[in-house]
Structure 1
Amino acid sequence: MNIAIFGAGSTGCYLAGQLCISELQVSLICRPAIKQKIIANNGITLTDYNGFKQTIMPQALITDINQESSIYGKFDVVFVTLKCHQVSSIANQLMAITHDNSSIIFMQNGLGSFDSIKDSLDHYSLLQGITPFNVLQLPNAVFHKGTEGVFTLQANPHTIAIQSALVNHGFGCDIEADFTPMIYGKLLLNLNNALNAVTDLPIKQQLSHYKNRRILAKAMKEWLAVCEAADIQLHQYTKVKPSWLPTILLLPNVLFTVLAKQMLDIDPKARSSMWEDIQAKRKTEVDYINGAVVSIGKKYGIKTPVNQAIVEQIKQLEQRH
């Protein structure tokens, strides 16, 4: 398999690193700044909250698809790890670097970006994937996995082969056939991305404050109400049912701390990707996360004032930065 990671930022580089370590042939399509960092540091270094550390160099680092794609041929699998708002404009580029039997796997947070492009690529095998853990980009091309979880991919022959390679090299990878519960369930957890950016604290520290957890619990309750109205079951990513998460968040600090340790391992350094975007003065994905709660809520007549307020706070931060 000739694999490309299209739009290799934090998540894309972590995925690329795992695939390379698993002896798969991987090229990165990335910004020049990422390419320079990787070359300067002799590869991508993966670390995690359990002490894992390994450096690996991808097969190729591509910054100009038009000029360089002919050198590396067509790709059998392309993982699209761009931000949501960048997806709708890349159909022609994806067609240029793939063939009729290629699989294109969209790894975006939130809802809406997949729908924005799928009709333009309807003759391809289009799949979705999820990164149910946090990746923080550190200096020297180091990408740190700060919470537990494994890449989760929609089932087809390519992804099953990728899962086999990852598992054989000590990495987890889940394969699912029905991805709607996966995407909607992941959105429930992603509702904290914006709040983490607003508080400007590491996730673990942010969640240690009852006031912050209370806001998150209210945001989650709104999404749970929307999903109930839409009759959509949510995949369970933590050790408790999605519907119980708001109740646990509202527990007193002492009880929450005990339960949180059992529910999900979080590194003290972990921060959300939206926090990274705000710090880097980039446009965020809030419209596809908290904004999706608001827009789908309107469709089903469910009020979502907390998520609406969070969207507005992020828009203010985007303008300030």
Structure 2
Amino acid sequence: MTSGRDVMRICILGAGSLGCVFGGLLAAAGHDVLLVNRSADLVERLNSGGLTLAFDSGDRVIPVQAATDCRGRVAFDLIVVLVKSFHTREALAAAREAIGPETVVMSLQNGLGHEDVIAEIAGPSSVVIGKTYVGGVMVSPGKVVAGVVGKPTYIGEPDGTASERVRRIARAFSAAGLETLASDRIMGVVWDKLLVNVATGALSGITGLAYGDLYDVPEVAECACAAVREAMEVAAAAGIALSCDDPYRPWRIAGEGLPPGFKASMLQSLEKGSTTEIDFVNGAVVRWGDRYGVPTPVNRTLVAAIKGVERSLAPTHGRSRRRDESPTAGSAIIR
């Protein structure tokens, strides 16, 4: 990334609802932004009519550039990866020609393990890790309800430092209205959020319960906290400093401020017949547990159950849906 420039060339790889919030505000702040989404209809709508971001204060229409891929593009200063976890390898491989020697590739995806995929394809020196609490819901093609107030984003180097390039990105994002902090404990931040996903995602997907009912079943709470406790033990073995040591806290945080009808993203994926991000959530706990010799029977069982549900929803009886290569399926290597 060319440090002497105030304006960055930024690619939002996976410009769904959340990607549009980031890309739209960065474009409005004057950066040269490309929104990449596989939907040709959405790309046409964004290019012709702009992106509408809906805030409490009213709607804002922002002219944007969008495309279905990165073909023919010169190298970007920054690529923000926001595709579904299981599409990371495929998306980065397709964008390879737009990754130059100074390009920073930053994941803001859910879970743990994307940094390994990025390092393999773009090179270890390109990797920046991030976690965001920004929200977005696409209510119609090209219109996204944005949640940014009080929703910070944390970014840092894999080695735990807050380098100058990380601080520069944080300044640019914050100036665009996206509160972003350069963190010197980014892996702790990643694991803090991973614990929240571990607590509710798989159990919501397996039971089919929205949060109101999910939180009414004591046995579910007990299982959730057992899964979180395992993840905490793995983090401790890996030398990751967490912000809490109470396994019930991530379970409580996961449901705070959400309506009873809220559904975890894993359940939403299953209801659409889509592959979930289980390999990058509970599956990441299992992989790290194996690496550090920590047993993870609860998380291993949750992974197996979700994969069984996925198989039961396969469109062709007796044959699995096509899955992109996942970490547990043999790749070099996961909100």
CA deviation map 1:289-321 (0-9, x unaligned): 111212222333433222122212221332233
CA distance in 1, matches of 2:9, 2:256: 34
Q: Of 40, 43, 51, which residue of structure 2 is paired with 1:35?
A: 43
CA distance in 2, matches of 1:278, 1:18: 31
Q: Secondary structure at the match of 1:233?
A: coil
Shift in alpha-carbon separation, 1:159–1:276, aligned structure 2, 3 A: farther
Q: How many aligned positions are there?
A: 298
Which structure 1 residue ranges, 4+ long, deviate > 6 Å from structure 2? none
CA distance in 2, matches of 1:248, 1:110: 14
Q: What is residue 115 of structure 1 aligned with on the other side?
A: 116
1:196–1:271: 8 Å Cα contact kept in structure 2? yes
- Once the two structures are TM-superposed, the CA of residue 176 in structure 1 deviates from its matched residue by 1.1
CA distance in 1, matches of 2:261, 2:27: 25
- Once the two structures are TM-superposed, the CA of residue 220 in structure 1 deviates from its matched residue by 0.5
Aligned pairs (5 A) from 1:9-28: 9-28=16-35
Q: Secondary structure at the match of 1:27?
A: strand
CA distance in 2, matches of 1:37, 1:212: 43
CA deviation map 1:163-204 (0-9, x unaligned): 334434543212113422222222111212223333444446
Q: What is residue 68 of structure 2 aligned with on the other side?
A: 63
Aligned pairs (5 A) from 1:129-140: 129-132=130-133, 135-140=136-141
Q: Of 153, 164, 180, which residue of structure 1 is paired with 2:187?
A: 180
CA distance in 2, matches of 1:144, 1:202: 21
Q: What is residue 127 of structure 2 aligned with on the other side?
A: 126
State the TM-score, normalizing by the size of structure 2.
Answer: 0.74
Aligned pairs (5 A) from 1:56-95: 56-57=61-62, 59-66=64-71, 69-70=72-73, 73-95=74-96
Say whether residues 1:302 and 2:294 are aligned partners: yes
Q: What is residue 224 of structure 2 aligned with on the other side?
A: 216
Aligned pairs (5 A) from 1:169-318: 169-191=176-198, 192-203=200-211, 206-207=214-215, 209-234=217-242, 236=243, 241=244, 243-246=245-248, 249=251, 264-266=256-258, 270-318=262-310
Q: What is residue 253 of structure 1 aligned with on the other side?
A: none
2:10–2:34: 8 Å Cα contact kept in structure 1? yes
Shift in alpha-carbon separation, 1:274–1:302, aligned structure 2, 3 A: same
CA distance in 2, matches of 1:65, 1:131: 24
**Which stretch shifts more, 215-224 or 37-46?**
37-46
Shift in alpha-carbon separation, 1:94–1:265, aligned structure 2, 3 A: same
Name stretches of at least 5 consecutive residues in structure 1 with no aligned partner.
250-255
Shift in alpha-carbon separation, 1:224–1:134, aligned structure 2, 3 A: farther
Q: Secondary structure at the match of 2:222?
A: helix
Q: Secondary structure at the match of 2:79?
A: strand
RMSD after superposition: 3.3
Q: Of 149, 162, 167, which residue of structure 1 is paired with 2:151?
A: 149
Name stretches of at least 5 consecutive residues in structure 2 with no aligned partner.
1-7, 157-161, 314-335
1:26–1:58: 8 Å Cα contact kept in structure 2? no
Matched residue type, 2:14: G
**Which stretch shifts more, 20-29 or 145-154?**
145-154
- Once the two structures are TM-superposed, the CA of residue 161 in structure 1 deviates from its matched residue by 3.5
CA distance in 1, matches of 2:60, 2:262: 20
Say whether residues 1:7 and 2:9 are aligned partners: no
CA distance in 2, matches of 1:208, 1:55: 40
Q: Secondary structure at the match of 1:100?
A: coil
Matched residue type, 1:149: K
- Once the two structures are TM-superposed, the CA of residue 21 in structure 1 deviates from its matched residue by 4.0
- Once the two structures are TM-superposed, the CA of residue 80 in structure 1 deviates from its matched residue by 1.3
- Once the two structures are TM-superposed, the CA of residue 283 in structure 1 deviates from its matched residue by 1.6
Q: Secondary structure at the match of 2:301?
A: helix
Q: Secondary structure at the match of 1:311?
A: helix
Shift in alpha-carbon separation, 1:218–1:287, aligned structure 2, 3 A: same
